[in-house]
Chains A and B, each alone.
Chain A
Amino acid sequence: MTKPSIGSVKGWIYGSGVAVLCVWVLLPIGLIGLGAFGGRPAVYQWPKTLWPASLSLDQLAVFLKIDGVWNAALNSVLAASLTMVMALLLGAPAGYALARFSFKGATLFRLMILLTRAFPLAILALPLTVLFIRVGLYDTAFGVSLVHTALALPFAAMITASLFAGIPRELEEAAWVFGCTRWQAFVKVVLPLALPGMAAAAIFAFVISWNEVFAASVLTVQQRTLTAYLLTVLSESPLHYRFAGGFILIVPSVVFIFAVRRYLFALWGVTSR
């Protein structure tokens, strides 16, 4: 409708807008990476050069050797793995029920799941401190993972519900005809089809736990997760250690988001409508 020359100017503006936004997302991650691998000399260098001379893996290794860092990273992995397993074990059956049955209370259950999203859930870790101290769960990765599961479970249930709903009921029914029990049909027919999506849901649960700061900080003292450790040492640790910690927090998440990118809309988009 418009003259081609104007169209190409528009296209150019539009293309550079896209590029600028890509740089806006990526550049900051690159810069904290330089801080993490550059160590003290790079962080306090003035004015900065684009490529600090001190860049090396050793700088990051120095951070990992600090007392408590390695332990905190292990606690994070442990809490996130437990969260992943529990969220899926509890959430997937509920998702299957929502996808395959119409039953009284289904709407109520859906509503409860949605309601948890309108709540600042992590804050509920505050009163749990008292309970956890009493039953011996305080200051354990397992205790932290219980709260993180409460955060991840609603997502796991909704994601698996949309996954199972996308697998034709007829496939399952065919398996019943051939003599499979409901459980066998689920394991042999539905599960293999749902597996990639369930892996994405699991990874998502892992990331929720890995990134959570508040509940983890409130519920731990010695056995801190990486986020809790970083938060508590923020004011006393030198800048390059903070950047190394931040960078280590980011890297797994970026990889995970790449792995689940095909399921992003099942995770966030459609289920939240």
Chain B
Amino acid sequence: MPTSRWLPYMLIAPASVFLAVFFAVPLVQTIVLSFDGGTAGFLGNYQRMLNDLNFNVSIRNTFMLVLTVVPLQMMLAIGMGLMLQKMQKGRELVLWIWTIPLGVSDLAAGLVWLAILQNTGYLNTLLFHMGVIDSPTAWLNAETPVTLFIAVVVAEIWRSTAVVLVIIVAGLQLIPKEFGEAAEIFGAGRWQKFTRVTLPMLKPSLQSALILRTVLAFEVFAAVYAIGGRNIPVLVGEAYVWQRENQNYSVAAAYAVLIMVISLAATAVYLRLLREKPEAQA
């Protein structure tokens, strides 16, 4: 069949044009908008962002959330993946149950944990029956920043570990069984087998899971608002407030640029840290 040289280009053209319009253009627009400070000058919007009362708090909260949630969920997902690998019966069912949160939005996850952790919620009922508290206790307001933070961490881990699990399970399936068997023959213990064979072979999966989750974790917003309202400001939340309530699209754009720069920097760091060594490549 004579194939037109142009056919593949015609096939990718619609997707390319669409992504150019809805990815590249708004990207440039965001950057332009953020530097359009009007009378305040070139960096006026960034100045306003930096002087914003919530700025430092939201930077700190966002980074603390990312640095707590991502490592914990990576460890949890690796553990779950290894458990699944050992399973003979019921693996399908367990995998399905564990991946259910894939379909749960961050907003819904926040509301789920609000139902558990609110004053007259299930956690307090449990604590009441254990004799720890004797009346409804608040964990999620401005006076209890530590428990509020923990609540958001729990909700985020509950919701977003599933995607890491799927990536890791797919990666584990690609490791040839012979590698582990060879390690056993040479006398490697379970821990050695894990650190010397499984983890290095899993590196590409870990890398893509880390990049994906870190970028998304810096966007954390709806779960935080569902659980703690404005009591725990985060970067995307501030961008939202500047856009919707202050109607200041330029400062919102400055926040957006900052979030993008942080995301790209994180991606670059992972790509560098987890780079394949030349001799490891096929």
A residues apposed to B, CB below 8 Å: 14, 17-18, 21-22, 24-26, 28-29, 31-32, 34-35, 43-48, 86, 89-91, 93-94, 96-98, 100-101, 103, 105-106, 109, 112, 116-131, 146-147, 149-150, 153-154, 157, 173, 176, 182, 207, 210-214, 217-218, 227, 230-231, 234-235, 239, 242-243, 245-247, 249-250, 253-254, 256-258, 261, 264-265, 267-270, 272-273
A89 to B33, CA, bound (A): 32
Flag if B103 contacts A256 (CB, 8 Å).
Answer: yes
Q: Cβ of B83 < 8 Å from any Cβ of A?
A: yes
A253 to B103, CA, bound (A): 5
Known: A118-B263, A129-B249, A261-B96. 5 other contacts (CB 8 A): A14-B86, A46-B124, A214-B221, A264-B102, A265-B166
| Nearest CB in chain A: distance from B77 CB, A | 11
Flag if B105 contacts A120 (CB, 8 Å).
Answer: no
| Nearest CB in chain A: distance from B275 CB, A | 15
Q: Cβ of B74 < 8 Å from any Cβ of A?
A: no
A65 to B260, CA, bound (A): 40
Using A25-B101, A150-B18, A265-B166 as known contacts, say yes or no to A213 and B222 having CB atoms under 8 A apart.
Answer: yes
Using A118-B211, A124-B23, A234-B229 as known contacts, say yes or no to A227 and B18 having CB atoms under 8 A apart.
Answer: no
In the assembled complex, 5 residue pairs joining A and B whose CB atoms fall closer than 8 Å, in A order, are A29-B104, A94-B12, A211-B108, A254-B100, A257-B99
B residues apposed to A, CB below 8 Å: 1, 3, 7-9, 11-12, 14-16, 18-19, 22-23, 26-27, 29-30, 33, 80, 83, 86-87, 94-108, 110-116, 118, 120-122, 124-125, 128-129, 136, 158, 163, 166-167, 169-171, 173, 204-205, 208-209, 211-212, 215-216, 218-219, 221-222, 225-226, 229, 236, 239-240, 243-244, 249, 252-253, 256, 259-260, 263-264, 267
Flag if A47 contacts B105 (CB, 8 Å).
Answer: no
Residues of B within 8 A of A130 (CB): 29, 249
Residues of A within 8 A of B23 (CB): 116, 119, 121, 124, 150
Flag if B120 contacts A214 (CB, 8 Å).
Answer: no
**Chain B residue at minimum C-beta to C-beta distance from A43:** B120
Using A26-B97, A270-B170, A272-B208 as known contacts, say yes or no to A211 and B105 having CB atoms under 8 A apart.
Answer: yes
A273 to B202, CA, bound (A): 10
| Nearest CB in chain A: distance from B251 CB, A | 10
| Nearest CB in chain A: distance from B176 CB, A | 16
Contacting A153 at CB < 8 Å: which of B18, B101, B104?
A: B18
| Nearest CB in chain B: distance from A19 CB, A | 9
| Nearest CB in chain A: distance from B193 CB, A | 13
Contacting A32 at CB < 8 Å: which of B18, B33, B87, B112?
A: B112
A51 to B87, CA, bound (A): 33
Residues of A within 8 A of B221 (CB): 213-214
Contacting A93 at CB < 8 Å: which of B14, B80, B170, B209?
A: B14
